[in-house]
Amino acid sequence: MEKKFAKKILKDVRDTYNIIADEWDISRPRVRDSRARFLKDIPRLATVLDVGCGNGIVYEFLAKKSIAYTGVDVSNKLIQIARSRAIKRKGAAHYKFRVASITALPFRDTLFSNVFCFAILHHVPSNELRETAFAEVFRVLKPGGELCVTVWNMFSDYAREKFALDVQMKNIQKNFDAHDFFIPWKATREKNVTRYVHGFTKEELSGLAREAGFKRARCDFYDKGTGVKTDSAHGAELCLTAVK
């Protein structure tokens, strides 16, 4: 994918989430079980970075823990929502939210002990920018720090049928790479918007982590509702865990 087109998609992703921010907030009231399993054992005094924090539900899940939490998102409207929700949530965790992109994290090196990237990396276009994203996450993690990434499994039976992905794979759009898709936002009839999504294989996702310098990179598929590990045909999410 050409750099100019990739940058346009990044801008479109930001604009789209600003458009649908209120509806997205309503549709995401809590952390899914498939992601909660990776949050429940965060140690005391951890420094947590939540990349693509959206409306701040990860902070709400962690609020009672004695940690330092930072949430970033490209959508300024979602950051506003996250701040508003956090004020209403009393907890021990110190928190802050700011607008930022995974491709240019505004933090010093080796600052965080844990980084979470839930359902964000599939919105990053081009292999070059995805490599940049992994390099940035690696940079801000402490030695021995842990990374957890989830992406939509675009090759599940459910996704292929719901979004007619087999048709899109046969008719790749101009300037797109293989396994690049446009997915409509269908929460309302009033807003006709689509979101760019890249479909990852296990090998591609773990390969990006290893190239960035991560160790013990592991990928598994999980059921969205129950959080149970499953196979590619039935798993709604592909999850990567790795250590710096």
Residue 36 parent element (H or E): helix 33-39
25: domain range?
A: 3-243
Secondary structure, 3-state, 46-112: CEEEEECCCCCHHHHHHCCCCCEEEEEECCHHHHHHHHHHHHCCCCCCEEEEEECECCECCCCCCCE
Number of domains making up the chain: 1
- CATH number for the domain spanning 203: value is 3.40.50.150
From first to last of the 244 residues of the chain, give the pLDDT tens digit: 999 999 999 999 999 999 999 999 999 999 988 899 899 999 999 999 999 999 999 999 999 999 999 999 999 999 999 999 999 887 888 999 999 999 999 999 999 999 999 999 999 999 999 999 999 999 999 999 999 999 999 998 888 877 766 656 656 677 888 899 888 887 655 667 889 999 999 999 999 999 999 999 999 999 877 888 999 999 999 999 999 9
- pLDDT, residue 162, reads 75
For 167, residues 6+ apart whose C-beta sits below 8 A from its C-beta are: none
